Amino acid sequence: MTIHTFGAIDVGSYEQELKIFEVSKARGIRPVDSLVRRVDLGSDTYQTGKIRSGNVREVGDILREFREVMNNYRVTEYKAYGTSAIREMDNASMVLSLWEQRSGIHVGVLSNSEQRFLDYKSAAAKIGDFDSIISDSCAIVDIGGGSIQISLFSDGKLGATQNLRLGILRLYEKIRSIDARESQRDAMISEMVDSQLEVFQKLYLNNRKVRNLIIVDDYISALMQSRKMEDVPAAAFIEYVRMARDMSVPEIARRVQIADDNVPLLYISGVLMERIIEAFGTEHIWAPGITLCDGIAYEFAEKQKILPPSHNFEEDIIACAHNISRRYMGDETRGETIETIALRIFDALRKQYGLSKRERLLLRICAILHDCGKYISITNLAECSYNIIMSTEIIGLSHIEREIVANVVRFNHSEFVYYEEQQNMSDLDLDAYLMIGRLTAILRLANGMDRSHKRKFEDFGLTLKPDRLQINIRPGVDITLEKGMFAHRADFFEEIFGIRPVIRQKK
């Protein structure tokens, strides 16, 4: 039996965690050790955009300790990620390099959507009847230090996901900065939360109730886990939170068995959840007690094909893209046509050009969102599409992947800007840019093949020749327009793939 010893590190906003896992086909993901150190990076970043040097050094030392512990467990693979405090840092690259130099640990930065997606994945893996819970109305509320993410499910699919800057550390800092009296705390937190929830409700709920809530967080989950309560009726939960309100900090700490320092964050988490439960009309709560590290381990197991996927996450990403398209009144039928054509071209090229499954997913999203910018401006479609995609969360996509999608959709409608020309305007590396080129070439071709929006290429064949990609279309279909507009797109395709697409219609 092959057992991988894997280390997952979360350089979080208020805590840094190392979890050691054993990952194997026989026993799944088994946590072996968990170390948590507490350095508040979020307060620095959220207020000044930088982390004070003492904290940088301290986290460097913590990472070095983590490295030693991983060595002791003979960890063979690890992943370390920073989250919102690192994301919002002005000098992230310098700090990350310093940490790597000090500890030998490379810390990547997760985009918000990536981070939430990892949490979501491990929740799906840990909750046995996840698919049945989300088939009813359900939301995952992922509470972080800087923000919270609410992901709504209906009919077993992800309907929408929204990030709200209501992280518990952020709320705590706000209350502290206002210097509120204890008696005012609840009202203040409620006000801050309610104002944002109201917008969320209007956007996504339309008076619908969300019967089930899955909480992903560090405090409430730990509390519920310690009480051996993975799921409870919402009313019981609220009663517990209200009871805690009347207790002193030491009393809460003693009762729920946490350190005094953590009580304010637990308290804010409780009030936050109470507001969400009331706003959503929630009836039942699940707290699987997972952390980002569990998600990182799950992703590792999934990528290594050690564990079968517990849920079809790709469909959630696609569902999320469709929702965005719908919100911006995209032409779904045309999107479907382009998606079909583009995927057929992609599949024809895949083997020859070593195209990945992930690229295929991105192409699908590009096709779905190909016209989202029209909602704002038909004439400035390219830039508007780019901006919409760049400012919308697509759960499961990294920041880089989102930028790839945004660029592909942009270059579908405008002149392609070469890597050498844009180097100073983007963080994208050459590999990412080559992917943009490949996907743009395919999307443009697919778009061109449905130039008339009449689905003339519903039935076509593809033959990959050494010098060309032959598109075979049955006789009798009038493709004059498509043929006329084809040359320019074919030139770009040829530039990227080195073969020329040719339309061949039997007479």
Contact residues toward another protein (CB under 8 A) are 1, 3, 5, 17, 22, 24, 26-27, 30, 32-38, 65, 69, 72-74, 218, 222-223, 225-226, 254, 257-259, 262
Instruction: Give me the least distance between CB of 22 and another protein, in Å please.
Output: 5
Instruction: Give me the least distance between CB of 308 and another protein, in Å please.
Output: 20
Instruction: Give me the least distance between CB of 95 and another protein, in Å please.
Output: 22
* AA identity, residue 123: A
Instruction: Give me the least distance between CB of 127 and another protein, in Å please.
Output: 19
Nearer to another protein, 220 or 349 (CB): 220
Instruction: Give me the least distance between CB of 255 and another protein, in Å please.
Output: 8
**Is residue 355 a contact partner of residue 464, using CB atoms and an 8 Å limit?**
no
Q: Which pairs count as long-range contacts for 261-265, CB under 8 Å and 24+ apart, including other chains?
A: 261/38, 262/219, 264/172, 265/14, 265/168, 265/169, 265/172, 265/218, 265/219
CA angle, 364 then 120 then 156, to 5°: 65
CB neighbourhood size of 416 (10 A): 18
Instruction: Give me the least distance between CB of 226 and another protein, in Å please.
Output: 3
- Residue 432 is inside which H or E element, if any? helix 430-449
Nearer to another protein, 188 or 249 (CB): 249
CB neighbourhood size of 396 (10 A): 24
Output the CA torsion sign for 95, 96, 97, 103: positive
CB neighbourhood size of 157 (10 A): 17
Nearer to another protein, 73 or 419 (CB): 73
The residues pairing with 290 across neighbouring beta strands, listed in sequence order, are none
Nearest to 356 by CA among 416, 467, 427, 438: 438
Instruction: Give me the least distance between CB of 32 and another protein, in Å please.
Output: 5
Nearer to another protein, 33 or 315 (CB): 33
Nearest to 219 by CA among 170, 181, 271, 174: 271
Nearer to another protein, 258 or 343 (CB): 258
Instruction: Give me the least distance between CB of 238 and another protein, in Å please.
Output: 21
Instruction: Give me the least distance between CB of 221 and another protein, in Å please.
Output: 9
Nearer to another protein, 27 or 52 (CB): 27
Burial tier of 180 (Cβ tally within 10 Å: 0-12, 13-18, 19+): middle
Q: What are phi and psi of 299, to 5 degrees?
A: -60, -40
**Is residue 273 a contact partner of residue 141, using CB atoms and an 8 Å limit?**
yes
**Is residue 116 a contact partner of residue 164, using CB atoms and an 8 Å limit?**
no
Nearer to another protein, 65 or 278 (CB): 65
Nearer to another protein, 105 or 223 (CB): 223
Query: Which residues, in sequence order, are CB contacts of 503 under 8 Å at separation 6+?
Result: 471, 473, 479, 482, 483, 486
Nearer to another protein, 34 or 377 (CB): 34
Nearer to another protein, 270 or 448 (CB): 270
**In whole angstroms, what separates CA 414 from the centre of its chain?**
28
Instruction: Give me the least distance between CB of 260 and another protein, in Å please.
Output: 11
